[in-house]
Structure 1
Amino acid sequence: MHPTPTLAPFPAPAPADAPAVEVADLRRRYGSFEAVRGVSFEVRPGEVFALLGVNGAGKTSALEVVEGLAAASGGTVRVLGHDPRRERSAVRPYLGVVLQASGLPGDLTVAETVRTWAGTLTAPRPAGEALAQVGLTGRADVRVRSLSGGERRRLDLATALLGRPRVLVLDEPTTGLDPESRRTVWELVRRLVDDGAAVLLTTHHLEEAEQLADRIAIMRAGTIVLDGTREEIAATQPATVRFVLDPAAPRPPVPAGVEVVSAAPRVEWHTRTLQPVLAGLLAWAERSGVLLHGLEARAASLEQAFLAVADGADPS
């Protein structure tokens, strides 16, 4: 664990308790195609907000406006109280960005890359500290083109952390990383958030969103279909009860409100009242002397809600 450096203050005039990122009715078009269709959300200091969705849902198109790399076709975006494109000079010193692909020069060494990037910042952290944070100290003299995909991803993160950002935008930050490196990145993000940074994250690793995000939004076709905490989003889906009956066994009564997905001998029920349904089933099995083979009871999950949105189902 490395000590967390003191971060730069918020730029005036945004108060510390104001949203770090404000997106209101954001729209982005490519010709006649509208990739982002009226998206709204906020990210506050000390919070991780995860934007999820399948490829083509509009996540990166929305993030590029937040990053100041593209103009909005409609709506407003503010980062620390400023327009990230028109007032870029006010935002840039406090904004860290990890793109899906950075395109860092392959001929430079890792250390040269970090020092070059640091030269564009007002008050960067030492290059050695940035490399140590992402576990690349031993690769400082290696040319970027010789790094593995995971090492390049960690170098992307090192450059994003150089400026001690107050807002960190992470677009698929752990793509190509092994599980150990992924957890190292998670710990870095948690330390930044603990120190008050706001993090806007996109990821295809649902476990990553579950581990890091305080709030989550799931996009489909340019709109936010579900948003809330992990628990709130999971609660939009039913729990599942599965078991197998012997051929001669009696059939259990189906409780009110239970959807029967499949019947005996392989039974699957969907319910929004898991505990009473499960308790009633076990009591019936005890009274009837019935064995419930392979009994499985699963609460609803973020993955279940994500797949329902991806499939175009009504999440409610």
Structure 2
Amino acid sequence: MNLNLIHTFCLIYEHQGISRAADELHLSQPTVSYSLKQLRRAYNDQLFYRERGLLHPTLRAQQIYPDLRAALDLIASTELFSHGFEPASSTREFVLMLSDLGEVVFLPLIQSLFETRAPSAQLRIEPLDVPKVPEKLTTGEIDAAIQTPHFHSDDVERTVIYRDVYVVVANMNHPRIQESVSLDQLSAERFIRIKSSIGHDAPENLLLKAGVQLQTGILGTRVVSVPGVVMNSDLLGIIPEAVVESLGWSERLQILPSPIPAERMEVSLMSRVKRRRTAPQKWFIDLIKEGVESMSRSTGGENLPEVRYSRGG
């Protein structure tokens, strides 16, 4: 058993196949297959079985993977810290998961800092898939994610990096809504609503508790689509104020406070816990926080970076 075999095992586990592991290792598939045979002999277990074109881990593989991956991460972190990480000369690819809202509000400032500090590195954005965030952070497939939904994981740290307020948006020439909106008006109007699965259902839940059920005109999937629809219809929307500000449409819409006061929406940076972070990841996480902080200063939003919970270290 050696580090190369452990690395091979982890990549097969994470990619559920030999070909993608071979690509990442820059080895031939027969070479990786031979390494898998050695691993099977060493652990006296099949480790993986094929089903529907993918390699699935056996119970034994599931048991040993977390410790082996943690060991690799620790070694990588130790080596990188001892040699130092130089962002100015790095060619590393950093991977960040963002929703459509995150791409509009946060990405421009993050990218500006990224290009300045690490001009030879690459930044890849993956669509936010909340249920997969813990696994992808743990396996190293992504370096960070920005989201509003909460979850708990022993290997993931959640840091609140921005707080925003939900507002009601209406057409400037709306025939019934002008300057303010009441609960009765919200009950009578139709809305462009966003599917709750992406994590923006808090305002509607508060309204439900007050006995207000929003009428649906459009049920959408992208928060950033709301202002455009509202500007061209009598539909109302409830969205974070930062969306309107970032799109530059604050002068083209009525931005009205909700008749039910609510706590500010928390935007969180999800990352590995500190003990499993590599030096590049630490640098990247600090850069994201700096970018969001600069946005808060320019827009007047509330930025209070704090670790809300840290599980596992």
Query: Larger relative contact order (C-alpha < 8 A, sep ≥ 6)?
Result: 2
TM over 0.5: no
Larger helix percent = 2
